[in-house]
Homo-oligomer: A and B are copies of this chain.
Amino acid sequence: MRRTRLVDVAAAAEVSRATVTNALNGTGRMSAATRTRVRAVAADLGYRTAPRTLALSVTARGGLQWDFLSVHYYAAMVNAATAAAHRLGYGLTILPAGITAWDVPAATGALILDSPAEDRLAEQAAQAALPLAFVGRPADMRTAGWVDNDHAGSVRTVLDHLAGQGARRIALMAGDCTDHYTRACVAAYRDWCRENSGYERVAAFEFGRDTAGELLGGPGRPDAVYGIYEDMGRQLLAAADRNGLRVPDDVLVACFSEDPSYALTTPPVTTVSHTPQAGGRLAVEGLVRMIEGGVRQRPTVVPTRLVVRASTLRNRPDGERRRPGLSASPP
């Protein structure tokens, strides 16, 4: 018994070889009936073709092992990227954080999220000429294409909103990662402070340290905080509570997050969404265009969305509270 070849399937299904390939890969334009028929013929003849795969890695924290999928942002991004890969006929391999090498031969292309300075995986991919797409502008590799948000604009929008609610001492809660996101947020915050107020305070988050408590418990405490990682809203609410501060009366709290349960905290927390559903899809589509068409990925800006909730809506000066209807917007 000889092995079934592509041409055998094409002959039996009475279509071109390209149509067989497209039908099996989920690419090209054809009716659903044709696709199903070609696949059935291929299956009957025992023709086997494994899907090509893309590899995805979150390199923001270099060699550190951490569970990025517990962050709603990454979970939504990975889900969207996987669904987009599937629609284009590819599998997606999600690699654990902290790995030191790709298995380059196994992947047709690679997606790197939040690439920091001196990203070894990005360098390896470049050396192996593996098609590579970035979500989040890479810290080095200035010539690479990427999909990202306008983080500077987004930080300014949040700070303007907090100032509009009466805040005069706005702190930024950030981290010491060297990825573009962290650096862009800190830089935009510093610029805004220089232009708008004398107060400037960046609280550098570290695992295991009570950064929120130090910020809200210490002297010269801020009257508003914007946390740029997803869990910071909860950390700030808890620290405010421990320090006897009311939110939003004594301190305004906002954070970046895709976690819908910030609509259900007490009070609900104002969040910035980076629309990872769009980012994940666009990055994969760009990567596959690069693989199949040799088209280089271009910088693509994905919208952010400010979801204003009660945590940043302060009593008005005359004591009138805003109506609840104004303090919540759909998650």
- Taking Cβ atoms with an 8 Å cutoff, the residues of A that contact B are 24, 26, 35-36, 39-40, 42-43, 47-51, 53, 55, 63-65, 67, 69-70, 75, 78-79, 82-83, 85-87, 89-104, 106, 120, 124, 260
Contact = CB atoms under 8 A, between A and B. Distances in A.
- The majority secondary structure among interface residues of chain A is mixed
A258 B35 CA distance: 31
B50 A36 contact: no
6 contacts: A36-B63, A36-B64, A48-B101, A50-B101, A87-B96, A91-B93
Given A65-B35, A103-B53, A94 B96 contact: no
B89 A50 contact: no
B48 A100 contact: yes
Give the most central of A65, A92, A102: most B CB within 10 Å.
A65
State the number of copies, please: 2
Contacts of A97: 86
A39 to B, nearest CB: 5
A101 B78 CA distance: 23
Contacts of A124: 48
B51 A99 contact: yes
A82 B98 contact: no
Given A43-B63, A86-B97, 13 more contacts: A35-B65, A48-B101, A48-B124, A49-B100, A50-B99, A50-B101, A50-B104, A50-B106, A51-B103, A87-B96, A90-B96, A91-B93, A260-B260
A79 B75 contact: yes
Nearest to A82: B94
Contact of A91 (B47, B50, B82, B96): B96
